[in-house]
C-alpha cells in the first residue's frame, strides 16, 4: 500500500535528522548564461536537525524561493532556523539567502572569511556571521560538522563540511552534475547513464579549468570515511558514493580514452569532406570510437566535455579573414584556458585565395603541450586526391600515436 503521508510531503527524508529541501529548475535555458540545460538542473539544499538547533546547508536560486520557503516551513514546523551554513557563495546557491535572513532575522550564517566580502557585496549581509576555517568543527545541537576548504572548486571561498557521526559529506558543487532530479533523488533511485553524461559536462564546463585544485580537494577528502554525499546539484549518493568519487577523480586527473574526436567547421562542405575522409581512414585502421562534430551546430558546452574525454583530437576549418573560422577560434580560446592534458593533436584546413588557418592551428599546437601530429592536410576548395591522401596520412599518424 502506498504511504500517502510520505509522497505528499514536499521535502525528502534522508536520515532521521536530515531532510532534502532542494528544488528543480526546468526554466533556465543557460546555466551561468552560457551552458545549455536541456534537462534542467537541481539546486540542492538540506535541513539538518541537531535536536536543540536547526541548520540549513546552502540555499537555492532566487527564482525558486517561494517553493524553497514552503519546504523550509514544512520541515521546521514552526521551530526557529538557527544557522545557515554557506559552503559556496555562487548565487545559484545564495541568491535566496536575503529572503531567508529576512524571514528568520536571528539566524546566524556559518561560513569562512573569504565568503564575507561576497555576502556584503552581493546581499548587503554583514552581521550574524560565524567564521569557520580549515579543520574547525561546528556544533549544530548534538550534530558536529567539520569543515574543509576547497579553494577554486568552484570559487575561492568554496568549502565542504563532514558530519562526523554519520559520515555524510556536504560537498557543495563537488560531485554535482546538471539534470533535474525527476522523482528519485538518491543514486539507487535513478538511471545513472543519463546523470553520468551530465556530471561530466558539469565538471568540464564549470570546474574543468580548476582541475588541479579539484585534484587537491579530492586528495584532502580522500582521508574521510565518506558514507554519503549530499552535493549542491544532482544526485544524493547514499548507496555507492565511491562511484562519483571515482568519476570526479578520473576527470580531475584528466584521464582520456583511446578514441578520436574530430571537430570541423565548414561553410560549403569542402572541409567537412576532409573530416569524413579522416574518420573513414581512422575506421579502416581499426579505431571504433570516433566522433565527428560540426562546430557550427554542436554547442561549445558539449565540445568541451568531449574534448576532455578523448585522447585524440583533430580540429579542422577553413581560413576566414586570414585567420581561423571564428567558431573554431572561440573553441581554441576556450581550450587554451581549460589547460587540458593528455591529448594527441592533429589539424587540417582549407582555403580559397590565401591561407592563415593552418598557422593558427600550429600556434595553438605549440602552446597546448599536447603531442602534435606532423601531417596537416590543407586543401584549396574541393579536396583533391592528394589532399585526401594527406587526410589518410594524418589518420595513420593518429593511430600510431594512440597505440604507443
Q: Smallest distance from the beta carbon of 354 to ligand FEO, in angstroms? A: 44
Q: Which stretch binds ligand FEO (CB under 6 A): 66-74, 87-95, 237-245, 325-333?
A: 87-95
Q: Smallest distance from the beta carbon of 147 to ligand FEO, in angstroms? A: 17
Q: Smallest distance from the beta carbon of 244 to ligand FEO, in angstroms? A: 16
Q: Smallest distance from the beta carbon of 348 to ligand FEO, in angstroms? A: 37
Exactly one of 93, 143, 201, 343 binds ligand FEO (CB under 6 A); which one? 93
Dihedral sign (CA 354, 358, 360, 363): negative
Report the DSSP beta bridge partners of residue 294.
Answer: 264
Residue 40's region, left for phi above 0, alpha for psi from -120 to 50, else beta, is: left
Exactly one of 25, 49, 92, 272 binds ligand FEO (CB under 6 A); which one? 92
Angle at 80 between CA 76 and CA 83, to 5 degrees: 95
**Residue 51 contacts residue 37 (beta carbons within 8 Å):** no
Whose Cβ is closer to ligand FEO: residue 92's or residue 360's? 92
Is residue 49 close enough to count as binding ligand FEO by CB under 6 A? no
Give the Cα separation of 100 and 70 in Å (integer).
11
Strands 54-57 and 83-85: parallel
C-alpha cell at 285: 585502421
Is residue 25 close enough to count as binding ligand FEO by CB under 6 A? no
Is residue 90 close enough to count as binding ligand FEO by CB under 6 A? yes
Whose Cβ is closer to ligand FEO: residue 154's or residue 209's? 154
Q: Smallest distance from the beta carbon of 254 to ligand FEO, in angstroms? A: 20
Taking CB atoms, the residue at the shortest distance from ligand FEO is: 90
For ligand FEO, what does the binding mask look like between residues 168 and 187, x meaning CB under 6 A? -----x--------------
Q: Smallest distance from the beta carbon of 179 to ligand FEO, in angstroms? A: 13
First to last CA, the chain: 59
C-alpha cell at 392: 589518410
# residues contacting ligand FEO (CB under 6 A): 8
Give the Cα separation of 122 and 128 in Å (integer).
16
Give the Cα separation of 319 and 351 in Å (integer).
5
99-103 long-range contacts, CB within 8 A, separation 24+: 99/62, 99/65, 99/69, 100/56, 100/59, 100/68, 100/69, 100/72, 101/125, 101/128, 103/69
Exactly one of 201, 209, 233, 378 binds ligand FEO (CB under 6 A); which one? 233
For ligand FEO, what does the binding mask look like between residues 243 and 282, x meaning CB under 6 A? ----------------------------------------
Q: Smallest distance from the beta carbon of 61 to ligand FEO, in angstroms? A: 9
For 173, other C-beta atoms within 10 Å of its C-beta total: 27
Q: Which stretch binds ligand FEO (CB under 6 A): 85-93, 137-145, 216-224, 297-305?
A: 85-93
For 222, other C-beta atoms within 10 Å of its C-beta total: 10
Exactly one of 53, 71, 143, 154 binds ligand FEO (CB under 6 A); which one? 154
**Interacting residues with ligand FEO (CB under 6 A):** 88, 90, 92-93, 154, 173, 232-233
Amino acid at each position: 500500500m502506498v504511504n500517502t503521508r510520505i509522497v505528499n510531503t514536499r521535502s525528502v527524508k534522508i536520515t532521521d535528522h536530515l531532510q532534502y529541501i532542494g528544488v528543480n529548475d526546468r526554466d533556465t535555458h543557460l546555466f551561468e548564461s552560457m551552458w545549455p540545460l536541456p534537462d534542467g538542473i537541481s539546486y540542492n539544499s538540506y535541513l539538518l536537525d541537531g535536536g536543540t538547533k536547526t541548520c540549513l546547508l546552502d540555499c537555492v536560486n532566487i527564482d525558486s524561493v517561494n517553493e524553497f520557503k514552503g519546504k523550509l516551513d514544512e520541515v521546521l514546523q514552526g521551530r526557529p532556523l538557527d544557522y545557515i551554513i554557506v559552503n559556496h557563495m555562487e548565487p545559484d546557491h545564495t541568491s535566496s539567502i536575503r529572503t531567508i535572513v529576512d524571514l528568520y532575522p536571528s539566524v546566524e550564517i556559518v561560513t569562512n572569511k573569504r565568503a564575507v566580502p561576497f555576502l556584503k557585496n552581493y546581499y548587503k549581509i554583514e552581521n550574524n556571521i560565524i567564521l569557520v576555517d580549515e579543520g574547525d568543527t561546528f556544533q549544530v545541537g548534538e550534530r558536529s560538522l567539520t569543515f574543509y576548504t576547497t579553494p577554486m572548486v568552484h570559487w575561492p571561498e568554496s568549502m565542504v563540511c563532514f558530519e562526523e557521526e554519520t559520515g555524510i559529506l556536504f560537498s557543495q558543487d563537488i560531485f554535482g552534475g546538471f539534470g533535474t532530479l525527476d522523482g528519485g533523488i538518491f543514486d539507487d533511485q535513478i538511471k545513472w547513464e543519463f546523470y553520468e553524461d551530465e556530471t561530466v559536462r558539469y565538471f568540464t564546463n564549470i570546474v574543468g579549468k580548476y582541475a588541479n585544485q579539484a585534484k587537491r580537494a579530492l586528495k584532502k577528502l580522500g582521508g574521510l570515511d565518506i558514507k554519503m554525499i549530499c552535493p549542491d546539484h544532482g544526485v544524493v549518493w547514499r548507496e555507492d558514493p565511491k562511484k562519483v568519487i571515482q568519476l570526479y577523480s578520473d576527470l580531475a586527473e584528466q584521464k582520456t580514452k583511446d578514441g578520436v574526436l574530430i571537430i570541423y567547421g565548414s561553410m560549403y562542405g569542402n572541409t567537412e569532406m576532409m573530416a569524413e575522409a579522416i574518420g573513414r581512414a581512422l575506421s579502416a585502421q581499426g579505431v571504433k570510437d570516433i566522433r565527428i562534430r560540426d562546430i557550427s551546430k554542436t554547442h561549445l558546452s558539449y565540445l568541451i566535455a568531449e574534448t576532455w574525454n578523448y585522447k585524440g583530437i583533430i580540429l579542422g576549418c577553413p581560413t576566414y579573414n586570414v585567420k581561423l573560422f571564428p567558431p573554431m577560434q572561440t573553441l581554441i580560446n576556450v581550450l587554451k584556458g581549460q589547460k587540458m592534458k593528455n591529448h594527441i593533436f592533429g589539424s587540417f584546413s582549407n582555403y580559397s585565395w590565401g591561407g592563415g588557418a593552418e598557422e593558427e592551428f600550429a600556434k595553438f599546437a605549440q602552446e597546448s603541450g599536447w603531442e602534435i601530429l606532423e601531417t596537416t592536410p590543407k586543401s584549396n576548395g574541393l579536396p583533391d586526391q592528394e589532399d585526401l591522401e594527406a587526410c589518410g596520412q594524418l589518420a595513420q599518424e593518429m593511430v600510431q600515436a594512440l597505440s604507443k
